[in-house]
Amino acid sequence: MSDRFFIERREDGQYKVLKPNAHRASAVTPTQAEAIARAKALNPEATIHVERVRSVGPGRDKWRT
């Protein structure tokens, strides 16, 4: 199993849990907190990278762990 997950906001406002290089989400949840919890349930040892949902400058802010 992957040792990293990415939490990204979808255009519809929900959040997806992705493994690196995945084409489909491992999970889709209505809130960021639920997405983080789902990623931890999939692999408690994994590093979780969360996309910040605020916009600054020309695009989205950076990832946080």
**DSSP code at position 19:** -
Of all residues in the chain, the percent with pLDDT exceeding 70 is: 77
- Say if CB 4 and CB 49 are below 8 A apart: yes
Q: Where are the domains of the chain?
A: 4-53
* Mean pLDDT within 27-56: 89
**64 band by pLDDT with thresholds 50, 70 and 90:** low
Give me the pLDDT at residue 52, please: 74
Angle at 16 between CA 30 and CA 53, to 5 degrees: 80
Average pLDDT, the chain: 86
**Distance between CA atoms of residues 39 and 43, nearest Å:** 6
pLDDT tens-digit map of 41-55: 999 999 999 987 666
Higher pLDDT residue, 54 or 21? Answer: 21
